[in-house]
Amino acid sequence: MNSLISISNANKITNPNGDIFKLLSTKDTGFNGFGEAYISLIDYGAVKAWKRHNKMTMNLLVPFGNVAFVFMDLKRNFETLIIGDSNFKRLTVPPGIWFGFKGISNQQNVVINIANFVHDDFEVDRAKVNEFDYDWDKL
Amino acid sequence: MNSLISISNANKITNPNGDIFKLLSTKDTGFNGFGEAYISLIDYGAVKAWKRHNKMTMNLLVPFGNVAFVFMDLKRNFETLIIGDSNFKRLTVPPGIWFGFKGISNQQNVVINIANFVHDDFEVDRAKVNEFDYDWDKL
């Protein structure tokens, strides 16, 4: 599977009063306009799946905790990427890809999505967690 | 002092696998373009002050912890606003206002700034924490 997801470095700057985490700027690779930003918490061991955005490009970061994202291509091949405390990266996810995610740290797992499109149900497809043949328990 | 800061409701959506926190959309009052988003942690009892952006409009949220923001007008009057877990709001701060902030929860205090301008030192003025006559210890 050729990855459809681009992975960019994200930057943490140490500060004695509290660190700075750069999330996204218009100068970054993968920036594709701004529509909306939101946080999605994902409890330890919980899964949110499946969803497909048909218009939205997502830029996903996990500043706290660790989260496994699973993406499915048109041939139903899966790609799993883990980002978070231990691997602070930004994932750029173009429209048209089924995805889900699981909280894998026993703490607060925080996903930030900076999207180029305001949430609108008309552009979202949803499927049940067992709709596709992916074993979430192995994560 | 007429407040120069606008305070908007921010929305948390309960979800059994982890809640959703809406941060900012292009449809929100106070949205003024997107340049950059970043997190600034502020330790319990720590102060980051003073700074003035001359171009940037900030949209500030505190999804975790509680943070006191202090703003100073041209007559050196101060306005203090506390947002966070116990008061989930968004502050829109136009350019030209001196500000600082202090972490006031004994936990991780997380500030998210969604700004209309990419960080650039040329548009920032800085002053030492004791430059203006504000008693940070009273917070």
Provide the β-strand partners of residue A61: A112
Write down the architecture of domain A6-123 according to CATH: Sandwich (2.60)
**What does the pLDDT read at residue B37?**
98
B21 contacts on A by Cβ (under 8 Å)? 38-39, 41
- Residues of A with a Cβ under 8 Å from any B Cβ are 15, 17-27, 34-43, 46-48, 63-64, 103, 108-110, 112, 114, 118-119
Around Cβ B117, how many Cβ atoms within 10 Å? 20
- Strand-pairing partners, residue B89, are B9
Query: What average pLDDT does chain B have?
Result: 95
Please list the pLDDT of chain B residue by residue as tens digits (139 residues).
567 899 999 999 999 999 999 999 999 999 999 999 999 999 999 999 999 999 999 999 999 999 999 999 989 999 999 999 989 999 999 999 999 999 999 999 999 999 999 989 999 999 999 999 999 999 9
Residue A60: how many CA atoms within 13 Å on its side-chain side? 29
Q: What are phi and psi of B4, to 5 degrees?
A: -95, -5
Pick the CATH number of B6-127 from 2.160.10.10, 3.20.20.30, 2.60.120.10, 3.40.50.300: 2.60.120.10
pLDDT of residue B2: 61
Structure-token pair, residue B6:
């606008």
* For range A18-24, the mean pLDDT: 97
Strands B66-72 and B98-103 come out as: antiparallel
